Amino acid sequence: MNIPVDMILSLVLLSVLFSFGSSRLPGLIKVLAFQGIVVSIVPLFIGHEMTAGGMVFTFATLAIRGIVIPYCIYFAIKKVAIDRQVEPIVGYHASLMAGLGLIVAATVVSHKFNAPSISTSVLLLPTAITLLVAGMFLLMARRNAIAMVLGYIMMENGIYLVGTTFSARSHHIVEFGILLDVLAGVMILAIILQTIKQAITIALNSLRATPSARITAGG
């Protein structure tokens, strides 16, 4: 049992519940930033032999997951007219109950799975499974496009933790996680560009309508 890692991962599990009950995008972004930082530093505590390249990769991952991606999303909702309210398909109370059930189910499944792991942490694989399924849940249970992107990123955090669990035998999982980081960045960029385009269109339409309104008022 790896007590420091399990304590950190227990906070990640709590953050999943918070994300299910959050009705505001800024709060959800902060949760994803916290998860990104924790997921990135886990390899430092589970017995990985860290080379200089490994340390660079770890801190680069931390910067991307915990700082760059959350900041880009926050910039999108702050600078462009995006509704900050998370529109749920499944209610918040029902989402919290689903989150509790998900954590319990992930713990049971991971113990029955009995897969070889490079860590003695009892919460590493349950947390990875929880993040994967929780991300899918946010994708399906929220109407807001940004919330869906955040759900996708949460899924990717889970995949990265799975890769961390088995990285001694499955390097391709970690590489797949890097690819998903790139895809997440593309998705975020597409949403930012789309929202900027919508804002420009609305502004131009309002400018075109203003002279017409003045002529009508003058007549």
pLDDT in tens, 113-138: 765 555 567 888 889 899 999 988 88
> Residue 109 CB: number of other CB atoms within 10 A?
13
Buried b (16+ CB within 10 A) or exposed e, 173-192: bbebbbebbeebeeebeebb
Distance CA(33)–CA(73), nearest Å, equals 11
| Closest-CA residue to 158 (of 137, 176, 132, 121) | 132
Question: Taking the C-alpha atoms of 192, 30, 128 and 126 in order, what is their torsion angle to the nearest 10 degrees?
Answer: -150
> Residue 69 CB: number of other CB atoms within 10 A?
23
- Each residue's pLDDT tens digit, 71-117: 877 877 776 655 556 667 778 788 888 889 999 998 888 887 765 55
Distance CA(27)–CA(17), nearest Å, equals 12
Distance CA(35)–CA(17), nearest Å, equals 12
What pLDDT sits at residue 169?
Answer: 47
